[in-house]
Structure 1
């Protein structure tokens, strides 16, 4: 999962980056509100962490600009203010949650996971596809209770496929999810990751049809139980 952090205090930003990295979240940060707006428009993030007191424009303006631009990425406000008026104003501009500084790492991570799950239409932390279970909080995969050992990139691929199950995802969308537009390898690396992931899932389930190729488009994760469903196509990031 990919998180954009908009925070101008270097110590706070570094601390949050360490928290997110420890939780196996990919974090990209900026200390300017205007740059945060540009990044949110350019790249597909799962969540935006937004400080209110920024050096160029305040967080409320960032919120307003993003929602006016129809950027629907969930936004969690991080603020030293705990007054009701600040919270009401934040929610009024389109924030999804509000967390007061200082906060515990466990609470921040729990809120992030909950917001992302809800934004993808999942109320629980475990997504089941046939016999495959993906635990979004623990970052683990199992088949019938037995663990499936995946590399970090393989897990991220399956995580994205699971969050958008039934939706065809392009190779560009996978690259964006894995690398965030920075130092991206060639598109063919996605085929390599998919091949390895398919092999591990097939070995664990005895079924190689979970991840299907949509020729000329990309890949889709299909639940084997409902038959005859036509996959939806995701909008490009």
Structure 2
């Protein structure tokens, strides 16, 4: 799952990023409210974890601006402010949960996963599409009860497909989810990962679960059944970046230069 951590304290952000990495989250960092809003407009995050005390605006304002811009990314406030008034204000501006510091890492990650599940329409910690099941807690994957052993990247691809079930995902979306703009390989690597993932699911009895959509990307259909007779995917261009902080604009520009059709 993909997280935007909004935290102005560099040391604290580094520590929390390491904690989230250790439990399987991919993390991007924003140190200010303006950077956070720009990144949430550009990238498709599963959740934003946000400090209230930012150098240019309050975390409340980040949430409020995002909701006004119809950005539906779930927001979890992570702050040392423990007053009921702070929590009520956070929820009234559109936050989905509130965790106070100091916190237990297991509780924080469990609440993050719960917020993400609810935002995708799941009430249980298991994602399912037809015969396919994926447990967000244990990271176990099965088809018709048969366990499927995946690598870390294969799991992340399948998790993203299930969380976006019924939606077409471009190769660039997968690259962003897997690498977050850091040391990204060529887009063709996504075809390799998907091919290996398909073979493992097929070996467990899951025929044609992942559909290739011509000229767009890959999709896991809502019923997770059907025959994949479509042609290999091609990449869509990256959306316009708009007004972005320099480090975000550089990442998007780099990806544009690499994103020609394959």
- TM-score (ref. length: structure 1): 0.89
Corresponding residue SS for 2:72: coil
Instruction: After the TM superposition, list the runs of 4 or more consecutive aligned residues in structure 1 that deviate by more than 4 angstroms.
Output: 224-227
Q: Paired residue for 2:17?
A: 17
Aligned runs of 1:38-117 on 2, under 5 Å?
A: 38-117=38-117
1:135 corresponds to which residue? 135
Q: Can you give the 5+ residue segments of structure 2 that lack an aligned partner in the other structure?
A: 228-237, 240-262
> Is 1:213 the counterpart of 2:212 in the alignment?
yes
| Structure 2 counterpart SS, 1:168 | coil
Quote the residue 1:31 is aligned against: 31
Give me the whole-angstrom Cα distance separating, in 2, the residues matched to 1:152 and 1:121. 24
Judged with a 3 Å threshold, the aligned counterparts in structure 2 of structure 1 residues 225 and 31 are, in CA distance, closer, same or farther, namely: closer
8 Å contact 1:43–1:180 — kept in the other structure? no
- What SS does structure 1 have at the residue aligned with 2:123? coil
**How many angstroms apart in 1 are the aligned matches of 2:92 and 2:52?**
14
1:197 corresponds in structure 2 to: 197
Name 1:233's counterpart in structure 2. Answer: none
Cα distance between partner residues in 2 of 1:71 and 1:128: 26
- SS of the equivalent of 2:95 reads coil
Q: Could you say if the C-alpha distance between residues 179 and 213 of structure 1 is closer, same or farther in structure 2, counting changes exceeding 3 Å?
A: same
Secondary structure of the residue aligned to 1:121 is coil
- Aligned 8 A contact 1:162 1:221 in 2: yes
**RMSD of equivalent CA atoms:** 2.0
Counterparts of 1:185 and 1:226, CA distance in 2:
31
SS of the aligned residue for 1:208 comes to coil
Determine the structure 2 residue equivalent to 1:146: 146
Q: How does 1:153-192 map to 2 (within 5 A)?
A: 153-192=153-192
CA distance in 2, matches of 1:37, 1:183: 24
- Distance in 2 of aligned mates of 1:225 and 1:142: 15
Report the secondary structure of 1:36's partner residue: helix
1:66 shift after superposition: 1.7
Aligned mates of 2:79, 2:164 — CA distance in 1: 31
Q: Deviations over 1:64-116 (max 9, x none)?
A: 22222221110000111111111111111111111111111111000000000
Measured against aligned partners, the alpha-carbon deviations of 1:36-82 in whole angstroms (never above 9, x if no partner) come to: 12211121111001101112222122222222222111000011111
